[in-house]
Structure 1
Amino acid sequence: MPFLFAAAAAGPSMNGKLLSEPMQIIILLTLLTLLPAILMSITPFLRITIVLHFLRQALGTQSTPSNQVLIGLSLFLTVVLMQPVASEIYDKAWTPVEKGQMTMEQGMTEGSKPLRAFLVRFVREKDVKLFLDIAHAPTPRSPNDLDMKVLMPAYILSELKASFQIGAVLYLPFLIIDVVVASVTLSIGMVQLPPAMISAPFKLLLFVLIDGWNLIVGSLMKSLVSP
């Protein structure tokens, strides 16, 4: 979201007057506090972190990989996916405002277009309708006319649904292994040994044999590039 910082740094105005430097600093600090929430909510970071969390739970490896590793991987994948959008915002909004070729208001409008186009690709019509009803807003003529205050929460809801669907699918093969191992151990009377301890090596072996990390990350990236 580089254009958000440009808006504060370039000297926002109110009623045609430039805001004072302390006010600009306050606005910039406010944007900095909002940046983590924006990064986690309206980027692919949301889907990637949830799917990787489900994968770790399905494998039954407790805290391996650690949260830091999963978040780091999610962050780098998000940077790769959002780099074209950020570049477009920079070229179409930030650069013209810095050169004085358009006003701040025009720059904000132009800067929101690439982000809106990205969000529209993944949002569900049902979720958009829900927030249109909540906001008592009229139905837009096209997806590109959607207000960001409707589009952003609708995108978050759509991504939560998609990530939980992927997580449920990830659980199935590992759940089958758990059920089979539990049935075998009970049938031969090995009640002293927890079934999860026996099934863990088999789940890890299956995941390694199918090159699970490459498969999961590759499928995630492809789904986010071409929904």
Structure 2
Amino acid sequence: MKVKTLCLLVLLLLPLTAYAQGLPTITLGVGEATEPGEVSTALQILMVLTILSVAPAILLMTTGFTRIVIVLSFVRQALGTQQAPSNQIVVGLSLFLTFFIMAPVFNQINEQALQPYLNQQITQDQALTEALKPMRQFMFSQVGEKDLQLLVDISKAPQPENQDDISLLTLIPAFVLSELKRAFQMGFLLFVPFLMIDMIVASILMAMGMMMLPPIIISLPFKILLFVLVDGWSLVIGSLVKSFG
């Protein structure tokens, strides 16, 4: 009873102690701007916060992350191991492989845009322009001509004469579409050997009259064994990295 009373007194005295010490408070409000520069600064802050909220999606959609995570997900589905490896492992491995593949591009952005901007050698607009050049070059090296032409036709824009005439609003969706197409092509090739094992096991079980036994229970150890014997993870990761070359 004494302990409960002591705790209650502490909780009651905390606000009084904080008031006596003069702790700072935070207030939010909307005031009237006296100069146009204040409005411009507020709009810039709002734009930066908006960009930061969608920055992860922009970063993932303009790199090789899409292809990598889809192919690794296909590997798990083809093996039939349900949640092994888990989603966290698949996404984490995809992120680190993305950083590994995009390292030359990121280094080029750092040397040509970020460092000169931090050293006040170029302006903010020039830094943004220089940073986009390596990213555009990477996406152009991976995008398919048919996908790019499809987006140009949909946008009803004039036929571009060179790469500089293609805007990011057209390039990024075409790049993502190409990544999805390549990922599903690689996923199909991954499914073929495991599908053959499932068919062989299902045929043997039917021939033995064991139709009530699910074939996936029998084929799963054989698929894992095959994947381990051929060093499957090294083959998949090596093929993924080389596909960006």
Question: TM bucket by the smaller chain?
Answer: 0.7 to 0.9
Deviation at 1:144, TM superposition (A): 4.5
Matches within 5 A, 1:72-87: 72-87=92-107
Counterpart position of 2:48: 28
Counterpart position of 1:204: 224
Matches within 5 A, 1:1-227: 22-224=42-244, 226=245
For normalisation by structure 1, the TM-score amounts to: 0.87
Deviation at 1:17, TM superposition (A): 5.8
CA contact (8 A) 2:65 2:98 kept: yes
Whole-Å Cα distance in 1 between the matches of residues 180 and 66 of structure 2? 8
Whole-Å Cα distance in 2 between the matches of residues 80 and 211 of structure 1? 21
Whole-Å Cα distance in 2 between the matches of residues 80 and 104 of structure 1? 27
CA contact (8 A) 1:123 1:154 kept: yes
CA contact (8 A) 1:140 1:146 kept: yes
Q: Relative to 1, partners in 2 of residues 1:102 and 1:18: Cα closer, same or farther, differing over 3 Å? A: farther
Q: How many residues align?
A: 210
After superposition, the C-alpha distances for 1:108-137 in whole angstroms (9 at most, x for unaligned) are 211110000000001011111111112222
Post-superposition, which runs of at least 4 consecutive aligned residues in structure 1 deviate over 6 A?
A: none
CA contact (8 A) 2:65 2:94 kept: yes
CA contact (8 A) 1:120 1:144 kept: no
What SS class does the counterpart of residue 61 from structure 1 fall into? Answer: coil
Worse-superposed segment, 86-95 or 169-178: 86-95
Percent identical: 50
After superposition, the C-alpha distances for 1:60-91 in whole angstroms (9 at most, x for unaligned) are 00011000000000000001111211121121
Whole-Å Cα distance in 2 between the matches of residues 145 and 52 of structure 1? 35
Q: For residue 125 of structure 1, what is the amino acid of its counterpart?
A: E
Deviation at 1:185, TM superposition (A): 0.2
What SS class does the counterpart of residue 160 from structure 2 fall into? Answer: coil
Whole-Å Cα distance in 1 between the matches of residues 39 and 121 of structure 2? 20
Structure 1 gap segments, 5+ residues each: 1-15
For normalisation by structure 2, the TM-score amounts to: 0.81
Structure 2 gap segments, 5+ residues each: 1-35
Whole-Å Cα distance in 2 between the matches of residues 199 and 139 of structure 1? 53
Whole-Å Cα distance in 2 between the matches of residues 97 and 141 of structure 1? 31
